[in-house]
Amino acid sequence: MANLALGAAMTATSELAADDGESSGIFGWLFYSDGFHAPTVDEFFPPALFGEGTIFEFNRIMLARVIAAAVLILIFWLVARKAKVVPSRGQSVVEMMLDFVRTQIVEQVMDKENAKRFLPFLTTLFLAILAFNITGVIPFINMAGTSLIGLPIIMALWVYILYLAVGVKKHGLGGYLKTSLFPAGVPKGIYLLLTPIEFLQVFILRPATLALRLAANMMAGHLLLVLCFAATQYFFFEAAGAMKAMGTVTFVAGFAFTLFEIFVAALQAYVFVMLSAVYINMAIEEEH
């Protein structure tokens, strides 16, 4: 709701000047609708808080990321600082999350030795994505840190460079190119077809899909929520008669999508880390 309010405030800033008299006070602002505004891509390019137009431009999505990162670090720091052999309740929850990444993601993909090597990074990646995703449904933030493509790109690039680096380190540059572009056990002629596909896969599609899947899911989730709540606001406070009842439908839909977004936040973190583990494992495997 607050997000909607913020969104409404933002889109309405220009119009507010014109019909100022219509809204007065906090309730006037909260229960006011000047018509239905479908959410647009501009949702993801809110006005700058400072540094507008420069590379240091800082808007509320950046703020959401900073808050998510700060809370994540704070929670884990507090738990890690007082971690004991016999865990407290909070420590158990934290350990459960670490355990989930280890047993359900990384060790499902790699053998134990490699899992141990890449576990710290993959665990960090999982927790970071989860924290950035979940801000999408946290009241007053209402914007996933990962719904702006920059952060998914940085994380995907990190994974990309990591799997290329460990692959080259393990097989040598030639060896890595050979194992990834010319998979063994295929008739020679097939390479004409297979090698370009594999090249696209390894060098372009893997990192691109990692970043796009995450960002697109988070953007879509945000647009859906804004759509539902903007419609609710419009139906309740602007539409007349029976149309007001429609607001109930859109509100229930918004509620359902909020729950769904919580699920998607966890699922996308899982998918991103699972695929990262798979890509790293493919790079260090002996043979495909």
Partner 1 sequence: MNALNLIVVAAEEHGESSHNPLIPANYDILWSTIIFLIIVGVFMWKILPMLQKVLDERAEKIEGGIKKAEEAQSEAAAALEEYTAQLTEARAEAARIREDARSEAGQIVAETRESASGDAQRLVETAQKQIDAERQQAIVSLRSEVGALASELASRIVGESLKDDARQQRIIDGFLDDLEAQVSDSKAKG
Binding residue (CB under 8 A) for partner 1 from 24, 45, 252, 288: 45
- The least distance separating partner 1 from the CB of residue 157, rounded to whole angstroms, comes to 9
Question: What long-range pairs does 119-125 form, CB within 8 A, spacing at least 24?
Answer: 121/162, 122/273, 122/276, 122/277, 123/98, 125/155, 125/158, 125/159, 125/272, 125/273, 125/276
18 sits near partner 1 (criterion: CB under 8 A): no
277 sits near partner 1 (criterion: CB under 8 A): no
Q: How far apart are CA 79 and CA 260, in angstroms?
A: 29
From 173-181, 217-225, 236-244, 275-283, give the range in contact with partner 1 by CB under 8 A. 217-225
Give whichever of 28 and 90 is closer to partner 1, judged by the CB atom. Answer: 90
Give whichever of 8 and 128 is closer to partner 1, judged by the CB atom. Answer: 128
| Cβ atoms of residues 46 and 148 within 8 Å | no
DSSP string, 32-69: ---S-----GGGGSPPPSBSTTSTT-B-HHHHHHHHHH
Task: Region of 140 please: left (phi>0), alpha (psi -120 to 50) or beta.
Answer: left
Span 66-95, contacts to partner 1 by CB under 8 A? 66, 69, 72-73, 76-77, 79-81, 83-85, 94-95
Token pair belonging to 234: 């419009």
Give whichever of 35 and 185 is closer to partner 1, judged by the CB atom. Answer: 35
Task: Tell me which amino acid residue 101 is.
Answer: V
Judged by CB under 8 A, how many residues of this single chain contact partner 1? 54
Site string for partner 1, 140-179 (x = CB under 8 A): -----x--xxxx-xxx--x---------------------
From 135-143, 198-206, 218-226, 236-244, give the range in contact with partner 1 by CB under 8 A. 218-226
Task: Tell me which amino acid residue 272 is.
Answer: F
| Cβ atoms of residues 284 and 166 within 8 Å | yes
194 sits near partner 1 (criterion: CB under 8 A): no
The crossing angle, in degrees rounded to 10, of helices 206-237 and 243-284 is 170
Q: Minimal CA–CA distance to 104: which of 283, 285, 282, 277?
A: 277
- The least distance separating partner 1 from the CB of residue 125, rounded to whole angstroms, comes to 8
Give whichever of 29 and 100 is closer to partner 1, judged by the CB atom. Answer: 100
- The least distance separating partner 1 from the CB of residue 134, rounded to whole angstroms, comes to 14
Residues at the interface with partner 1 (CB under 8 A): 38-42, 44-45, 51, 54-58, 61-62, 65-66, 69, 72-73, 76-77, 79-81, 83-85, 94-95, 98, 120-121, 123-124, 127-128, 145, 148-151, 153-155, 158, 212, 215-217, 219-220, 223-224
